Amino acid sequence: MASSLFKLSAVVANSSKNLRCVVRLMEKRDFSTTNVTARKEKDTMGELDVPDDKLYGAQTVRSIMNFPIGGIEERMPYPVIIAMGILKKAAAKVNVEYGLDKKLADAIMQACDDVISGKLYREGHFPLVIWQTGSGTQSNMNTNEVIANRAIQILGGKLGSKDPVHPNDHVNKSQSSNDTYPTAMHIAVAMELRDRLMPGLVALRDTLDGKAKEFDKIIKIGRTHLMDAVPLTLGQEFSAYVTQLTFGIERVCSTLPRLHYLALGGTAVGTGLNTRIGFAEKCAKEISNLTGIPFESAPNKFEALASHDAMVEVHGALNTIAVSLMKIVNDIRLLASGPRCGLAELLLPENEPGSSIMPGKVNPTQCESLTMIAAQVMGNHMACTIGGSNGHFELNVFKPMMVANVLRSIRLIGDGCQAFNKNCAVGIKANTAQIEKIMKESLMLVTALNPHIGYDKAALIAKTAHKEGGTLKDTAIKLGILTAEQFDQWVKPEDMLGPK
């Protein structure tokens, strides 16, 4: 398939039939030699055939020709296109104040609503991939062309005529790809954090908080260095997980002030050339009204175009959440290991058969899924870090890759937490009999004797008991260090759960 793509792209400029094959290949992932009715559209580099059933124009087709990379799986993320529709609608409304014909603006805004609803994305009018120009210019023009042609339809004009609505002069009025695409990045990420990440993360945190309270009275042995340690409650152990996720939520929230700054109004290099005074601020306010998120015009548009530290910061918070999830879920699956030959302190829901050869085996699949997600998010963070560190002069040109990775991490963590919460966390139970058995066998209960007999004698009891296979109590009595009454008085797990 890949070699065929390259062959097609090599001859596409000279053959409209092959161009149509490329278009179909990008959209449907297979070849279609059926002739597609085409119309002629022009950009500044010449005339091209455009499929007549699509609202995009020549610049979109040219991008399909030049970047046949990955196919439909690598399409520009859906939230970015929705965000582009939102910002274009806001700009059209504001531009009426600066001379844009209201009739054209109304048609543009109606077309934007079709973008925002997702209808035009689902119908294949946004076929471009992430791996294009690093400024997102082709996707900005894809959006301009689609909105312009949809507005032309609304007004009863001819597709591709750019009359009465022009993609650059009207839809892109007072804008540049260099400020619209980073604006879409911030809108898309902010909306997905609110709508996709937080519901899953908060639900899991709340479930684990409930488990911490439920397990508050269950005393178990702690472990450090994977070795036996002193007691704590299962609730205390779970409280650490709750706090990790609470801090993760707070970390995400702490990034929002920078994320809510919008680049729109900076145009090409941050100066605001070809805009009007007040345009940026009015657009930010309108975008806030459309999204319910308190966006503001970025105080420094040069920073907003040339760097994407806010994206790196957001993904840094996501990366930390991935680290937290990896630790939490690994603990849970280790504590649930067994059922006969592991720790088996926790009982997890049994959701599906775990082996194609071992009858009756059930595996911690929800844990495995979430740890794989955590690993992927950590990898995404490296890509975001590299992209963010490579903003050269007045423009960072890793924009599509960066936002795609941030959005993917949000989606994976949000969905992963929802699935883990529903299919595992809510059903976790404590195996109290096993917990009590293991705790009573632990040699580290000897730590309670330190204040009474000293560290060295306590160590002697523990080491002798371990060597001879005896209990702490019997060994202490045998060595003549303690009486049975003293041992029972001083070694009480329930008295070892906090400071005196």
Among 126, 141, 173, identify where a domain stops.
173
What CATH number corresponds to the domain at position 474? 1.10.40.30
Confidence (pLDDT) at 35: 60
31 domain-assigned: no
Confidence (pLDDT) at 11: 37
C-alpha span between 190 and 309 (Å, rounded) = 15
Report the residue count for the chain: 500
Please, are residues 182 and 305 in contact by the beta-carbon 8 Å criterion? yes
Q: Vertex 74, ends 71 and 79: CA angle to 5°?
A: 135
Asked if residue 159 and residue 73 are part of one domain, the reply reads: yes
Among 148, 173, 198, identify where a domain stops.
173
16 domain-assigned: no
15 domain-assigned: no
338 domain-assigned: yes
Measure CA 181 to chain center: 19
Q: Which ranges of 297-398 would DSSP assign to H, the alpha helix?
A: 301-306, 309-335, 365-388
Asked if residue 169 and residue 183 are part of one domain, the reply reads: no
Please, are residues 425 and 410 in contact by the beta-carbon 8 Å criterion? no
Q: What are 112's two structure tokens?
A: 């934007």
Confidence (pLDDT) at 445: 95
Asked if residue 213 and residue 78 are part of one domain, the reply reads: no
Confidence (pLDDT) at 300: 98
Per the structure, the count of domains in the chain is 3
Asked if residue 405 and residue 490 are part of one domain, the reply reads: no
> Token match 């966390």: residue?
425
Own/partner long-range contacts of 9-15 (Cβ < 8 Å, ≥24 apart): 9/65, 9/66, 9/68, 12/65, 13/65
Please, are residues 50 and 41 in contact by the beta-carbon 8 Å criterion? yes
> Token match 């793509």: residue?
5
Asked if residue 374 and residue 314 are part of one domain, the reply reads: yes
Asked if residue 451 and residue 304 are part of one domain, the reply reads: no
Among 152, 173, 194, identify where a domain stops.
173
237 domain-assigned: yes
Q: What are 388's two structure tokens?
A: 């963010």
Q: What are 411's two structure tokens?
A: 């989606």
Asked if residue 388 and residue 465 are part of one domain, the reply reads: no
C-alpha span between 206 and 214 (Å, rounded) = 12
7 domain-assigned: no
Q: What are 340's two structure tokens?
A: 């006969």
Confidence (pLDDT) at 114: 98
Q: What are 62's two structure tokens?
A: 């040219």
25 domain-assigned: no
> Which positions are annotated as active-site residues?
225, 355
Asked if residue 454 and residue 370 are part of one domain, the reply reads: no
- The pLDDT profile of the chain, 500 residues, written as one tens digit per residue, is 444 333 334 434 444 443 554 455 444 443 333 467 999 999 999 999 999 999 999 999 999 999 999 999 999 999 999 999 999 999 999 999 999 999 999 999 999 999 999 999 999 999 999 999 999 999 999 999 999 999 999 999 999 999 999 999 999 999 999 999 999 999 999 999 999 999 999 999 999 999 999 999 999 999 999 999 999 999 999 999 999 999 999 999 999 999 999 999 999 999 999 999 999 999 999 999 999 999 999 999 999 999 999 999 999 999 999 999 999 999 999 999 999 999 999 999 999 999 999 999 999 999 999 999 999 999 999 999 999 999 999 999 999 999 999 999 999 999 999 999 999 999 999 999 999 999 999 999 999 999 999 999 999 999 999 999 999 999 999 999 999 999 999 999 999 999 98
| Among 29, 11, 37, 26, residue whose Cα is nearest residue 61 | 26
Asked if residue 184 and residue 333 are part of one domain, the reply reads: yes
C-alpha span between 301 and 312 (Å, rounded) = 18
Confidence (pLDDT) at 6: 37
User: Residue 40 forms beta bridges with which residues?
Assistant: 49
Domain with 486 in it: 443-495
Confidence (pLDDT) at 81: 98
Please, are residues 484 and 491 in contact by the beta-carbon 8 Å criterion? no
Asked if residue 214 and residue 86 are part of one domain, the reply reads: no
Confidence (pLDDT) at 18: 39
Please, are residues 115 and 155 in contact by the beta-carbon 8 Å criterion? no
Asked if residue 399 and residue 460 are part of one domain, the reply reads: no
Confidence (pLDDT) at 8: 36
C-alpha span between 199 and 165 (Å, rounded) = 40
Model-level pTM? 0.92
Confidence (pLDDT) at 14: 43
459 domain-assigned: yes
What CATH number corresponds to the domain at position 383? 1.20.200.10
| Contacts with 312 (C-beta within 8 Å, 6 or more apart), sequence order | 384, 385, 388, 402
Phi (first) and psi of residue 223, to 5 degrees: -140, 130
Asked if residue 105 and residue 73 are part of one domain, the reply reads: yes
Q: Vertex 48, ends 44 and 50: CA angle to 5°?
A: 120
What is the enclosing helix (H) or strand (E) of 283? helix 279-291
Confidence (pLDDT) at 500: 82
Confidence (pLDDT) at 36: 72
What CATH number corresponds to the domain at position 154? 1.10.275.10
